[in-house]
Chain A
Amino acid sequence: MSKKYVFTVMAALLVLLSACSNKGSEGNVANTPPASTNGGAEIADPFGKYEETITLTYGKEVDPTDKSLPAGDTPEDNQYSRYVKENLNIDTKVSWQAATGTNYNQKVNLAVSSNDLPDALVVKDTQLRAMVKAGQLEDLTEAFEQYASPAIKNFMEKTNGVSNEAVTFDGKMYAIPSIQVQSDGVHQMWIRKDWLDKLGLEPPKTMDDLEKVAKAFVEQDPDGNGQKDTIAIAGQQNGARLYANALESTNNTFGLDPIFGAYKSHPGYWLKDDAGNPVYGSILPETKEALAKLRDLYANGLIDKEIGIRKSAYEPVVNGKAGIFFAPWWMGYGPLPDAIKNDPQANWQAYLLPLDADGQFNAHMGAPSTLFVVVRKGYEHPEAAIKMLNLLVRDESKFDISVPVGHYPLRVPMSYTDESEYSAKALQDILAGTKKPEDYTDPGYKLLAADIQNVKKVKKEPYDNMDIQYWDPQADTGVWSRMYSLLVGSSALQQDYNKVYSVLYSQTKTMESRWSNLKKLEDETFLKIIMGAAPIDDFDKFVSDWKNQGGDKITEEVKDYMK
């Protein structure tokens, strides 16, 4: 009797629940109101304020170590979101937030796979593709045409259509691409110049020099504490990249990209061989050569023993235990502020080194667009996201950046691709007195006017010496971060260097299903070879495995793409 009773209850529950879930999914499917009918009716003003407050929900990436928000402000409600509200009457709401990096990516993936998207999001290339394939995104072609500000359109044009191509599928534009400075993709050598001076050394030009300097950094106690506890070359943390690759081509901090470059090796990139056919950089003999050298350096204790294992790669740099690391120009934003807080003498300088056997610096270049603002299909105000970006580009120089601009809702970098080199040159000329602020009139270099105004706040005389003692970070940390990044980090980029571009910066059809396995094979093999857990000849096995497990097929597809 009672058993029967239970079953009845369970059956009833089952019906009830499935009814609920059906309703839910129907609701989602049916939720496609006529797209942007008000687009045509009102006059398209890129900065137009909505008459009635509209709401835009989005997912937000938050840096857990960031403590810059003043008391009472939150990632959802801060100076930037209020600015958007005041100027555009858009009420931005954070539907969920996640820590920068893997956590955020995972959260986006979950939102994609459960088809439960906020109104707008910032996503990566692979995610954009998945969302377009799933039909989850609003077509922004018309909205962009009508609402994007001239500045943004101008930035887009300067990439020669590359950015446009990245967001166009079947002739429709499904995202607003970031337009990043090319310096984000150039990884330079940052080195403790105070250590070099102390040991009477010069910045290492070649791989041999680098080895000598590294040896001195490990053995001659450059931090002067009497203990042999310094790391010569810092490495990436657990889960981070050994080198930037074609799919994530920029901002690889603490990788070893320039060392590969010194052997003319560009792993992770799609290069052209002599016959003009595409080849994958990771399987070339140059890469084996570079790996053999890295293995050697590691065995001699010149590379961080805990490369790829460390929880935070910042740590040895901040604690003054590391002497060399490889990263893009913007290190003044982090980790260097913390490093000089601990040791005001830590004189980190950036160089385009080491050089290859021909005396050239080889840099693999990033894609101009690696981040994308997308709008959920069926959102009533697709142009709202565009307006917010318009406003960001127009007014970024007015913001108080002691709260990082990353707190701007849906912020993606937007600028001329040469902005950092150009600004660095301009600032040098201003400091040298050879140019005047009035000489710079292109408003597209949106931060330059403010930069010129601020530079002398933090830069002390002599203006042509960039050593740390001629700076005053205390005067304004936010300004110092930018100026140090430009004048130290970007100055080197004005010189000539060999720019290597990938043939392809996104995925082919087969890569969608096979790439994760190939990538894992590559990551695991390379790290093991470097750390001595596998013999160097495992590289050959990797090459044949890579080809058999889909690599050859993908190479064919890349070839088709080039035609």
Chain B
Amino acid sequence: MRNRAFTKHYYIMLLPGFVWLFLISIIPIFGVVIAFQDFNPGQGFFKSEWIGLENFRYMFSLNDTRTIFFNTIFIAVMKIVGNLMIPLVFAIMLNELRLMAAKRWIQTIVYLPHFLSWVILSGILLDIFSYTGPVNVLLHTFGIDPVLFFARADLFPFIVVGSDVWKEFGFNTIIYLAALTGINPSLYEAASIDGATRLRRIWHVTLPGLRATIVLLSVLSLGNVLNAGFDQIFNLYNPLLYSTGDIIDTWVYREGLLNMQYGLATAVGLLKSIVSFIMIIVSYMLASKFANYRIF
């Protein structure tokens, strides 16, 4: 507040973002009324028949509902854990490299997949894991019978999580590397003078130095616990994989857009939003408590 003219600029710069937020995110919120209606597009939000909680009643009577919530949470939690742990380990290993040039190269290469869209990457994955694809050729050389990966509901969540972590870990590594540069080098010097080995230094200097970042990232990712990655799964799955791979977003897409079950799809989407909202509030409270992270 010291320099009012200066802060004003900031607010003006924020303005386009706010306009966007309004158009894309705030205004459509009123669409949730569809969840309580037998929505008829010809009559719109205001005149469609009001049916109260009927859509929710049907939703809870469906076996699908439990399945998709379970699948979503299962896949999302595994992704969150994988995307926190693997980049951490990788960042620490990369940090220990002495050759700066090699470090830079590796860093760049591993984060390239982040920029590929799932539409492209899914096509590649489907080929790699196809019945005659390279993975099965490799298995064959070890004398293992080919596996039809995309017919195996039991393996699908792991393919999804594995490929997502592979795609994203390079990007997340950068956050940890940034935090690593913030650790005072004199701490390492002091530790090595005290006779600490490399592993000891990692354990007693590096990890404590990263603690705040780790806590912050994991707490903030709580808000994503119901986002299991629509575009990834949508491009990979098929009816055989519904039992373990169908998530809230793909289900809502099929019901709402392909089968025109507007009310039901909105009801499920609304439930998801409510749970996500609670998660975000909780994560914000935890973040402000443990990592001293505050927005307001």
Q: Which residues of A contact B (CB under 8 A)?
A: 1-2, 5-6, 9-10, 13-14, 17-18, 21, 25, 102, 105-106, 109-110, 112-115, 126-127, 130-131, 133-136, 238-239, 305-306, 308-309, 311, 513, 515-517, 520, 523-524, 527-528, 531, 533, 549
Contacts and interface: CB of A to CB of B under 8 A. Distances in A.
Contact of A135 (B19, B43, B240, B242): B43
A305 B42 contact: no
Interface in B251-268: 254-255, 257-262, 264
Contact of A309 (B4, B22, B150): B150
B15 interface: yes
Contact of A13 (B22, B153, B239, B258): B22
A281 to B, nearest CB: 19
A308 B153 CA distance: 14
Given A110-B257, A114-B41, A133-B42, A305 B242 contact: no
B148 interface: yes
B22 A14 contact: yes
Given A134-B40, A239-B238, A516-B261, A9 B15 contact: yes
13 contacts: A21-B27, A109-B258, A112-B41, A112-B260, A115-B44, A126-B260, A308-B151, A309-B240, A527-B239, A527-B240, A531-B240, A533-B151, A549-B62
Nearest to A304: B131
A524 B151 contact: no
B206 to A, nearest CB: 41
Given A2-B11, A136-B41, A513-B261, A533 B62 contact: no
Contacts of B22: 10, 13-14, 17
A517 B62 contact: yes
B213 interface: no
Interface of B: 1, 4, 7-8, 11, 14-15, 18-19, 22-23, 27, 40-44, 58, 62, 64, 123, 126, 130-131, 148, 150-153, 238-240, 242-243, 254-255, 257-262, 264
Contacts of B27: 17-18, 21
Contacts, number: 106
Given A113-B260, A130-B260, A533-B153, A516 B4 contact: no
A10 B18 contact: yes
A524 B67 CA distance: 14
B236 to A, nearest CB: 10
A106 B257 CA distance: 6
Which A-B residue pairs are the 4 nearest by beta carbons? A134-B42, A516-B259, A135-B42, A238-B238
B267 to A, nearest CB: 12
A308 B130 contact: no
Contacts of A10: 18, 22
B238 A308 contact: yes
Contacts of B150: 309
Given A13-B22, A515-B259, 11 more contacts: A2-B11, A6-B11, A9-B18, A18-B27, A115-B42, A131-B42, A134-B42, A311-B126, A524-B242, A524-B243, A531-B151
Contacts of A110: 257
A133 B19 CA distance: 36
Nearest to B26: A14
A367 B205 CA distance: 74
A5 B11 contact: yes
A308 B239 contact: yes
B184 to A, nearest CB: 37
Contacts of B151: 308-309, 531, 533
Nearest to B259: A516
B41 A106 contact: no
A305 B131 contact: yes
B176 to A, nearest CB: 35
Nearest to B34: A113
Nearest to B126: A311
Nearest to B150: A309
B258 A106 contact: yes
A167 B239 CA distance: 32
A243 B41 CA distance: 31
B273 to A, nearest CB: 19
Nearest to B23: A17
Nearest to A114: B41
